[in-house]
């Protein structure tokens, strides 16, 4: 009986000592939770620079914050297909402008002005412009979804890492309890397996996020690993077309 009482007292003292070390962790946790929705940026020559760590942005300090609209604009400017479409539109415009100059010249010397298929060129130009607009809408939808998905993944990874730290603290408690006979070796082993599982899960999530960032760089030429960080102060509403895709296309055709 006396031996059990000594164990209980020893465990109580140990828990009090360990709680002193753990409480600041929870204080920081609560403080960070309160700052999840707040901006953590300052401005340097007009650019947003991350200066404090937000939820999910612990590794982003010092990077330039890139907004969703800036990412969409970068993707549009980086699109080879859109660049070709712009050249096609300009080609039609140049042809019509050149023909106008020819007509003006022939009229100035009282020569016959031959008919030129302006209507056909104008139709081709409008078709190219409609195609360009549709491509821009598609890029906007794609980048919006990818951007928001990465933001949510970063937040999820950050929370998983916090959970891992708490599990490690619990493991230290269990080791102390094991020495006092309050937990079994099997329970300790189960806790270690759980921690290993959490670590593997975080690694898999980070690999997936890095793959997303690599592909995002291909689309936008923005390096989210080294130069830029995502802006968390956004509305996580996916870009979508009202109604069906067929209705959207029909509307474009009708406007044309």
**Residue 125 domain-assigned (yes or no):** yes
CA–CA dist 40, 20 (Å, integer): 29
Asked whether residue 154 is assigned to any structural domain, the reply reads: yes
Tally of domains in the chain: 1
147 within domain boundaries: yes
Length of the chain: 256
- Host domain of residue 156: 64-237
The answer to whether residue 245 is domain-embedded is no
Q: Do the domain assignments include residue 225? A: yes
Confirm if 144 and 72 have CB atoms less than 8 A apart. yes
Q: What is the pLDDT of residues 73-114, one digit of tens each?
A: 999 999 999 999 988 888 888 887 877 776 676 666 767 656
User: Residue 125 has which token pair?
Assistant: 């130009």
Q: Residue 173 pLDDT more than 80?
A: yes
Tell me the β-bridge partners of 65.
229
197-227 pLDDT per residue, tens: 999 999 999 999 999 999 999 999 999 999 9
pLDDT higher than 90, residue 166: yes
> Cα dist. 88→91, 92, 105, 124 in Å?
5, 7, 26, 9
Helix (H) or strand (E) holding 43: strand 41-44
Domain-located, residue 138: yes
The mean pLDDT value for 235-248 works out to 59
CATH number for the domain that contains residue 178: 1.20.1600.10
pTM above 0.85, yes or no: no
Residue 49 lies in a domain: no
Residue-by-residue DSSP string for 229-254: EE--SS--PPP--SS-HHHHHHHHHH
Instruction: Find which of 4-13, 149-158, 177-186 is predicted with most confidence, using mean pLDDT.
Output: 149-158
Contact between 128 and 87 (Cβ < 8 Å):
no
| Residue 105 is assigned to a structural domain of this protein | yes
| pLDDT digit string, tens, across residues 176-185 | 888 888 889 9
């Amino acid at each position: 009986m006396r031996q059990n009482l000594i164990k209980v007292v020893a465990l109580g003292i140990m828990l009090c000592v360990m709680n002193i070390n753990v409480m600041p962790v929870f204080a920081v946790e609560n403080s960070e939770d309160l700052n999840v929705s707040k901006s953590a940026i300052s401005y340097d020559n007009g650019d947003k620079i991350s200066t404090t760590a937000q939820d999910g942005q612990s590794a982003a300090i010092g990077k330039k914050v890139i907004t969703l609209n800036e990412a969409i604009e970068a993707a549009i400017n980086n699109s080879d297909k859109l660049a070709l479409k712009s050249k096609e539109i300009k080609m039609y415009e140049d042809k019509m402008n050149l023909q106008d100059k020819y007509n003006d010249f022939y009229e100035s010397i009282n020569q016959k002005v031959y008919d030129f298929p302006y209507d056909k060129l104008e139709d081709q130009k409008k078709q190219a412009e409609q195609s360009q607009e549709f491509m821009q809408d598609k890029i906007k939808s794609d980048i919006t979804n990818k951007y928001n998905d990465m933001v949510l993944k970063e937040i999820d990874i950050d929370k998983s890492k916090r959970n891992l730290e708490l599990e490690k603290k619990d493991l230290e408690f269990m080791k102390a309890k094991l020495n006092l006979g309050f937990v079994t070796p099997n329970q300790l082993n189960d806790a270690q397996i759980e921690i290993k599982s959490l670590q593997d899960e975080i690694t898999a999530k980070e690999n997936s996020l890095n793959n997303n960032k690599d592909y995002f760089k291909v689309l936008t030429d923005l390096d989210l690993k080294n130069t830029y960080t995502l802006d968390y102060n956004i509305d996580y509403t996916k870009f979508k077309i009202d109604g069906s895709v067929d209705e959207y296309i029909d509307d474009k055709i009708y406007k044309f």
